[in-house]
């Protein structure tokens, strides 16, 4: 391993501490197991080190992992590599990669990272609160492998504390848990597998809702309504090209805005041409299914289940 790679791994100290629930913007309780720190005496320094003014301990990332997870330095080093070896988690490096032509690199595999981020979510109360504020319960979050990570973007020197949403093993999206910050959303671009919960198109469920955003999709799934999330309305084409069970009834629940309605029209034409059954859902008059869930869960739930019941009746009558 090259020195720059080791330096890169070490630069994750702050985000590591944050995933352990330690706030690095002020003094925090010393992590040295030998020191029972009465007042927060430890501080984070920008050279990717932490220092305790009580006992004098100084740690880099490897030392911090060793102290917190009770490992020796060699084990901690291995763990750090496990957590952070993928230096490709910033858009900069991904863009760089894209521009390198004539060089076929395999798509990144984020499965290890997903596991780590999932664990980080379990420790992060603020991230859990965010999910609950969006109407998504933790069981649903867990079912879809949602996680938490603090991303650092070197070039812009910005940090994104985000809910991570795996789309496939090669592709994920991340949603800022502080919606007031400028950078709200981020998505890996190194794979074309963009549809969230794609299996909903081919599984045994008789009905499949279609939404734009991942959180809209999760809003239906939280009620156990089978659903796929396109990621963006532009992915309607991707939906059309993807394998699907043509005996299903699809429920179009795109956003109530100009773009959403334009793409809904395209979906309707496609369904008609291919003799696939479909219905439309009006999101109870709200902008999108997630807003409907958050503003009035009982109306949202009543409305979607009465539509499903109606569709089932129609289907039974046809048989």
Is residue 194 within 8 Å of residue 167, measured between CB atoms? yes
Number of residues that bind Zn ion (CB under 5 A): 7
Nearer to Zn ion, 54 or 91 (CB): 54
Nearer to Zn ion, 30 or 177 (CB): 30
202 SS3 class = coil
**What are the C-alpha distances in Å from 133 to residues 74, 102, 128, 219?**
41, 45, 9, 12
Answer positive or negative: Cα dihedral of 83, 89, 90, 92.
positive
Task: Give the interface segment with Zn ion, choosing from 54-62, 71-79, 129-137, 181-189 (CB under 5 A).
Answer: 54-62
Nearer to Zn ion, 38 or 316 (CB): 38
DSSP 62-119: HHHHHHHHT--HHHHHHHHHHHH--TT-SHHHHHHHHH--S--PPPP--HHHHHHHHH
DSSP 148-170: EEEEEETTTTEEEEEEEEEEETT
For residue 18, which of 88, 120, 101 has the smallest C-alpha distance? Answer: 120
For residue 170, which of 90, 112, 84 has the smallest C-alpha distance? Answer: 112
CB of 81 to Zn ion, least distance (A): 26
Question: Binding residue for Zn ion (CB under 5 A) from 12, 24, 32, 161?
Answer: 32
Nearer to Zn ion, 23 or 155 (CB): 23
CB of 67 to Zn ion, least distance (A): 10
Nearer to Zn ion, 42 or 304 (CB): 42
Is residue 251 within 8 Å of residue 268, measured between CB atoms? no
According to the binding rule CB under 5 A, does residue 218 interact with Zn ion? no
Residues between 57 and 86 that touch Zn ion (CB under 5 A): 57
Nearer to Zn ion, 27 or 152 (CB): 27
CB of 61 to Zn ion, least distance (A): 17
Nearer to Zn ion, 54 or 206 (CB): 54
Question: Binding residue for Zn ion (CB under 5 A) from 54, 91, 145, 206?
Answer: 54
Please give the helix or strand (H or E) that residue 58 lies within, else none: strand 58-59
Give the x/- contact pattern for Zn ion in 225-264, rule: CB under 5 A. Answer: ----------------------------------------
According to the binding rule CB under 5 A, does residue 52 interact with Zn ion? yes
According to the binding rule CB under 5 A, does residue 55 interact with Zn ion? yes
Task: Give the interface segment with Zn ion, choosing from 26-34, 109-117, 242-250, 272-280 (CB under 5 A).
Answer: 26-34
According to the binding rule CB under 5 A, does residue 297 interact with Zn ion? no
Alpha helices in the chain (DSSP H): 3-10, 13-19, 61-69, 73-84, 91-99, 111-123, 125-133, 138-143, 214-221, 236-241, 258-273, 289-295, 297-318
Binding site for Zn ion (CB under 5 A): 30, 32, 35, 52, 54-55, 57
């Amino acid at each position: 391993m090259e020195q720059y790679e080791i330096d890169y791994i070490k630069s994750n100290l702050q985000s590591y501490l944050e995933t352990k629930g330690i706030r690095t913007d002020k003094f925090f309780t010393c992590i040295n197991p030998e020191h029972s720190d009465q007042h927060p005496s430890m501080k984070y320094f920008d050279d990717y080190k932490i220092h305790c003014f009580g006992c004098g301990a100084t740690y880099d990332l490897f030392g911090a992992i060793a102290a917190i997870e009770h490992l020796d330095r060699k084990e901690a080093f291995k763990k750090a590599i496990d957590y952070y070896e993928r230096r490709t988690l910033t858009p900069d490096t991904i863009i760089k990669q894209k521009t390198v032509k004539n060089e076929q690199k395999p798509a990144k595999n984020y499965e290890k990272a997903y596991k780590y981020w999932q664990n980080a979510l379990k420790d992060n109360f603020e991230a859990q609160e965010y999910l609950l504020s969006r109407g998504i319960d933790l069981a649903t979050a867990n079912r879809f492998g949602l996680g938490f990570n603090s991303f650092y973007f070197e070039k812009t020197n910005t940090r994104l504390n985000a809910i991570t949403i795996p789309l496939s093993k090669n592709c994920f999206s991340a949603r800022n848990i502080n919606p007031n910050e400028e950078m709200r959303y981020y998505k890996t671009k190194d794979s074309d597998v963009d549809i969230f919960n794609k299996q909903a198109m081919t599984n045994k469920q008789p009905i499949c809702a279609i939404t734009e955003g991942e959180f809209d999709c999760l809003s239906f799934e939280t009620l156990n309504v089978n659903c796929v999330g396109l990621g963006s309305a532009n992915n309607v084409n991707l939906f059309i090209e993807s394998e699907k069970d043509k005996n299903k009834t699809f429920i179009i629940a795109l956003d109530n805005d100009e773009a959403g309605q334009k793409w809904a029209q395209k979906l309707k034409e496609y369904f008609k041409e291919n003799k696939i059954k479909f219905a439309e859902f009006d999101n109870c008059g709200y902008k999108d299914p997630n807003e409907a869930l958050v503003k009035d869960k009982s109306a949202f739930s009543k409305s979607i289940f009465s539509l499903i019941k109606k569709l089932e009746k129609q289907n039974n009558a046809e048989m």
